Chains A and B, each alone.
Chain A
Amino acid sequence: MIEVTGSLKRRLAVWLLVTVTGLGALLMIEARVSSHRAAERAYDSQLEAAALTIAEAVQWQQGEPLIEVPAAALQILATRHQERVFYAVLDADGAPVSTNLPFTLEPGWRERAADAPLALTARLDGEAWRLYGREVDSAGWVSQEPVQVWVGHTRAGRMALADELFERTLTRFVAMVLLAGVLMALALRVALGPMRRLRRVLRRRDADDMRPLDARVPEEMRELAQTLDHLFARQRQSREALLRFTADASHQLKTPLAGLQSVSELALTSEDPAEWRAALAAVHEGAGRTSRLAGQLLSLARLRHLGEAEAVAPLDLAAVLRETVLDWAEREAARDHDLGLAPLPAGPVWVRAEGWAIRELLGNLIDNALRYTPPGSVITLGLEVLEGREGRGEVALFVEDDGPGVPAKARERLLQPFERGGRQDTEGSGLGLSIVDSIARRLDGRLSLGARESHGLRVRLSLPLCDPEEAP
């Protein structure tokens, strides 16, 4: 079932938005701070220029500092923003020699300005002012005391410049974000191009076209394309297997049906009731064999088309084994064989499997052993509990006989349907091991065929043990 969980574009847009908002907020704070700093620096240098111009005009007369404030200094102070301006020339005691506004400068400021030029922001006369003070050494004939020059102006120009700088940064940022957004959208379109191409390729394919994909894909989509190819390959295989199976099954069913037809035809031409009887017996036997063959075919088909095994309840394998062997030992077919059980583990052996599957599997294996071994052969079934790696235990179920066995080369092929290990003399259909193999796959087990000592056959199925705590 396909569930649409949002759109890639929207998800990308949201991420872009979140990133831009977060980074943008930080950037803007930084821009705000640095534009203020830049504005302060720019205007502080004007304060410095004005202070120097005034300092240049300081002269000494009769031991008193004398200052004719240069008009240019005041214009520098006022700036093009027409600030209110302040200047003061202080003598060594801090008393004003000349000033235009009655601001009191804190003694602390004067002490600091004595060490190094000082710029500070202060609130005076109900308005924020930027002040700048520096000490000027001057040599007169009578006095060599230093004087301090203080200048200041209001901050409208600084605010305006800071706002202007900030606005410019903001504009650039917004433009960049918009551009990035548009480019992102375009890039997304281009990046999703291969996806659209692949979709077109898939849409154009015929229903029974199982060839590998022929498409150009980027690195990120290689895995998807490969998975699709694997899927096609598996479908192709299973389709071929199905066709082969159907062909084989038809062929198998045709032979006994043809036999029935010839026997019944022969009987119809005869007048002898004894022959009729013999023919009827032959027909009965043939119908029974055909019916068993059809039953096995059905069972195999059912196994193959059953879906994945659902979570099944744990099952005591030892109990099922014991029960099945007892059941078979009493049958007519096992009269000439020595069917027995190897010693079983003491407690129950828990595996996840359906009871019918295990019984079907065991039935097929025992039936095979009875059919393909001469009378008097010993057939033994048993369980071996193995400690697997990482605490995952395994149990091996085995069926062995001391019959003629199967050459190693033919063993693998035995698992194919209609394969009888080169023995066409018996009544078997060649489906038994095929069914066993299907069940083993279904139970997530491993099936292996081997020899028992020098001769005979040993069929072994390993199943994972399930956690004893989960057992009922």
Chain B
Amino acid sequence: MMARRTALSFIVLTLLLVGAGPLRAAPTPLVVEAALDREVVAPLLDAFRAAHPEIALDFRDRTTLEVDALVAEADPAPDVVISSAMPWQMARVNQGYARRLDSPAARRWPAWAKWRDEVFGFTFEPIVMAYRLDLSRHMAPPQTHADLHTLLTTERDALAGKVTTYSPLESGVGYTLHQQDARYTPRFWDLVAGMGRVDARLEGSTRAMLEGLSDGRYWLGYNLLGSYAMVWAQTHPEVIVQVPQDYSLVMMRMAFIHRDAPHPVAAEAFVDFLLGREGQRVLAGQTPLFSVRPDIVGPFTAARLRDQVGERLFPIPLNASLLAFVDPQRRAAFLERWRREFRRAEEE
């Protein structure tokens, strides 16, 4: 009698194990469309895969404009959308493409770095200047925006064709940074005019600018993403990263779960991981993306950056004013003025 019952339990247990096998073998897919370099973010993705083996993460690295288009057009929709083009992300959220995330990590997230509990700024990336060592042999490297403006005026011949910055036309990030600069001071337009005078080259990404610096094509780059530049400088000693000493913009990557996410549970797990202690610790320790959370310790945290740079960090505010940046008429007017100021030298 006893033996028979034991045998029965064994059979049931075996059946259960066999039945559970295929379930484990078919992980939930999760599609993340991101404007975020895979190399930079790899440690975070690895940590997520280790923490959630049941989710098959498909991380697709694209440009900001591609990512933005996919939000509306992709079928099926992506699960999670990450982009550094803050105004476009905000516009998509305002159009109702985001799904609210209600989790402890989301609730604890600082209010200045989230909107409607739908979109979260999960990195804290300073915008920097970078120069080649060659530059310091000819002139004192710029430390502030005013320094840069002076150099563009006084060293016009030496710098001709040697300066690079983001193209506001081709890059959403570049446009956002220039807009934000222009919001802070009208002297920004003098800077643009100065760039026009030295015939600055306009690039579509930070990587292109850094490559140009390493190649020796450029001596000076303005408005680069600090996160990429710092990683680059570690392996390219000829490139020096300078956080502007007067004020430094800070950009945040914004992540949201798509309203029509085919795998909402996995998507929530991913964003929760991004915002959680685990994910932010990886961001702070193994990537130069900088953790936003004040309770995380590591070389790359917003708190530590503040200690180094002081109170001159100006995060691009994550609020409805971003929506104005993507207004077509306003954008057209800005670009028009940008072109005009850039060509001011020719007209003079």
Residues of A within 8 A of B330 (CB): 67-69
B321 and A72 contact, CB distance less than 8 A: yes
Contact of B329 among A74, A82, A98 (CB under 8 A): A98
Number of interface residues of A (CB under 8 A): 22
Q: Is B327 an interface residue (CB 8 A)?
A: yes
Provide the residues of chain B in CB contact with A68, threshold 8 Å: 327, 329-330, 333
The residue in chain B whose Cβ has the minimal distance to the Cβ of A156 is B116
Assembly CA distance A97 to B324 (angstroms): 15
Q: Say yes or no: is B143 at the interface (Cβ < 8 Å to chain A).
A: no
- For residue B326, give the distance in angstroms from its CB to the closest CB of chain A: 8
Complex formed: what's the CA distance from A125 to B321 in Å? 22
- The answer to whether B323 touches A100, judged by C-beta atoms less than 8 angstroms apart, is yes
A7 to chain B, nearest CB (A): 52
Residue numbers in A under 8 Å from B325 (CB-CB): 71
CB < 8 Å neighbour of B94 from A67, A75, A85, A98: A85
Chain B residues with CB below 8 A from A84, complex form = 93-94, 96, 116
- The verdict on A127 contacting chain B, using a C-beta distance below 8 Å, is yes
A74 touching B320, Cβ below 8 Å: yes
Which residues on B sit within 8 Å (CB–CB) of A116?
A: none
In whole angstroms, what is the CA distance A127 to B100 when docked?
A: 15
Q: Of residues 238 to 286 in B, which have CB atoms within 8 Å of A's CB atoms?
A: none
Residue on B with the closest CB to A82?
B116
Taking the nearest CB of chain A, how far is it from the CB of B120, in angstroms? 13
Is the C-beta of A351 less than 8 angstroms from some C-beta in chain B? Answer: no
Whether a CB of chain B sits under 8 angstroms from the CB of A268 is: no
- CB distance B324 to A69 under 8 Å? yes
Residues B311-328 near A (CB distance < 8 A): 319-328
The answer to whether A82 and B327 touch across the interface, beta carbons within 8 angstroms, is no
Tell me, yes or no, whether B91 is within 8 Å of chain A by CB.
yes
Whether, in the assembled complex, B185 has its beta carbon less than 8 Å from a beta carbon of chain A, the answer is no
Interface size class of B (residues with CB under 8 A): 20 to 34
Closest to B179 in A: A71
Establish whether residues A101 and B95, one from each chain, have CB atoms under 8 Å apart when the complex forms.
yes
Q: For the complex, what is the distance from the CA of A78 to the CA of B91, rounded to whole Å?
A: 13
Asked if B189 is at the interface (CB within 8 A of a chain A CB), the reply is no
| B115 proximal to A (CB < 8 A) | yes
In the complex the two chains form, what is the Cα distance from A100 to B91 in whole Å? Answer: 8
The answer to whether A77 and B327 touch across the interface, beta carbons within 8 angstroms, is no
Given contacts A66-B329, A68-B327, A68-B333, contact A101 B94 (CB under 8 A): yes
Q: Is the CB of B320 within 8 A of A98?
A: no
Q: Which residues of B contact A82 (CB under 8 A)?
A: 115-116, 319-320
Q: How far is the CB of A129 from chain B (nearest CB, A)?
A: 11
Q: By the criterion CB–CB under 8 Å, are A78 and B329 in contact?
A: no
Among B93, B116, B323, which residue has the most Cβ atoms of chain A within 10 A? B323
**Residues on the A chain within 8 Å of B93, using CB:** 84
* CA distance in complex: A73, B323 (Å): 10
* Complexed CA–CA distance, A378 and B178 (Å): 143
Task: For the complex, give the distance between the alpha carbons of A72 and B326 in Å.
Answer: 14
Closest Cβ of chain A to B186, distance in Å, is 15
User: A101 to chain B: which residues have CB within 8 Å?
Assistant: 94-95
Alpha-carbon distance between A189 and B329 when the two chains are bound, in angstroms? 76
Q: Are A127 and B96 in touch, CB under 8 angstroms?
A: yes
CA A102 – CA B44 in complex, angstroms?
Answer: 38
Which 6 pairs of residues, A with B, have the shortest CB-CB distance?
A: A78-B320, A71-B321, A71-B324, A74-B320, A69-B327, A68-B330
Interface residues, chain B, with chain A CB atoms under 8 Å away: 91, 93-96, 115-116, 183, 319-330, 333
List 25 interface pairs A-B (beta carbons < 8 Å), by A numbering. Answer: A66-B333, A68-B329, A68-B333, A69-B323, A69-B324, A69-B327, A69-B330, A70-B324, A71-B183, A71-B322, A71-B325, A72-B321, A74-B323, A75-B319, A75-B321, A78-B319, A82-B115, A82-B319, A84-B93, A84-B116, A85-B320, A98-B329, A100-B94, A100-B323, A126-B96
